[in-house]
Amino acid sequence: MAETSDISSTEAARSPSTVPVLQVKGISKAYGAVQALQNVDFDVYRGEVVGLVGDNGAGKSTLVKIISGVTIADTGEIDIEGVKVNITIPKDATRAGIETVYQDLALCDNLDVVSNLFLGREENTTIVPYLVQPLNELDMEIRASEVFRQLDVKLPSLRVPVASLSGGQRQSIAVAKTILRNARVLLLDEPTAALGVAQTRQVLALIRRLRTQGLAVVIISHNLADVFEVVDRVVVLRLGRRVAVFDIAATSQNQVVAAITGAEFGELSRQEGTSNHKAPEDEL
């Protein structure tokens, strides 16, 4: 089965001089005889939210681990704003402006909000050089207040233990940590998993605000309803390959599901920018 073009009108309409904040080129990764990823490309622009979807085993987690420095690709390249970056450990990704919020959020339940935000990056006040350097609690609290105001997130207090907060509030704290680190690219792994309706709305609203602030955001999710609420484009992985890129404004959930499962779904309208990149026969 011949492959068809998967360049959406969203991509085509951009000026040739526009450079993606994140561009992944030809990423492949194998674990022994298992080919987890094969020649995967995708990009994300400033102020854009891209959904990364696929069934279990499609390669989503492996791709995120490679971008965030947890795993090293066998082949391929990662560019940040047009410049190739060498990412072999998580610190490399952080230095490049890539931050990842995993599903477990990596928060310390027994610590308060401010302590979680600055954990490992505490600010000190020097009283006696190299001897007395207490934490600058006031400055950290002021900076925490500023970032939550920037994100329009309301918390009962910055000094309550994180364990006492809702799932949506905890997700907001994890995102706020990345803002403090001046992230340019934010990867969100299943950001609405196990959240209630109200908490999910809170997180989706937060993602929309991240877009307006110019971040490049990638959402990895199994929940297509949530994906369709906030993303501009959706990238479909299947069996380790990118098989489709859809412009969300001109796409239905059924079309995305068909690409995920490999079902026949026919030619889609190109006039509205929807793309149909059918998988080769050896993937069916």
Tell me the residue type at 172.
Answer: S
Whether the predicted pLDDT of 7 surpasses 50: no
6-10, 63-67, 85-89: least confident range:
6-10
Candidates 245, 239, 166, 178; CA nearest to 207 is: 178
Tell me the residue type at 205.
Answer: A
DSSP the chain: --------HHHHHS-TT---SEEEEEEEEEETTEEEEEEEEEEE-TT-EEEEE--TTSSHHHHHHHHHTSS--SEEEEEETTEEE--SSHHHHHHTTEEEE-TTTT--TTSBHHHHHTTTS--B--SBTTTB--B-HHHHHHHHHHHHHHTT---S-TTSBGGGS-HHHHHHHHHHHHHHTT-SEEEEESTTTT--HHHHHHHHHHHHHHHHTT-EEEEE-S-HHHHHHH-SEEEEEETTEEEEEEEGGG--HHHHHHHHHT----PPPTTTT----PPPGGG-
pLDDT in tens, 143-174: 999 999 999 999 999 999 999 999 999 999 99
For the chain, give every domain's residue range.
9-97+184-283, 107-182
User: Best-predicted range by mean pLDDT among 81-85, 140-144, 196-200?
Assistant: 81-85
Structure confidence at residue 268 (pLDDT): 41
Q: Which two tokens stand for residue 109?
A: 């339940």
Distance CA(22)–CA(81), nearest Å, equals 6
Answer for the pair 27, 210: CB distance below 8 angstroms, yes or no: no
Name the CA radius of gyration of the chain, rounded.
20
pLDDT in tens, 230-239: 999 999 999 9
Domain 9-97+184-283: which CATH number of 3.40.50.300, 3.40.50.720, 3.90.550.10, 3.20.20.70:
3.40.50.300
Mean pLDDT, residues 36-54: 97
Mean pLDDT, residues 84-110: 94
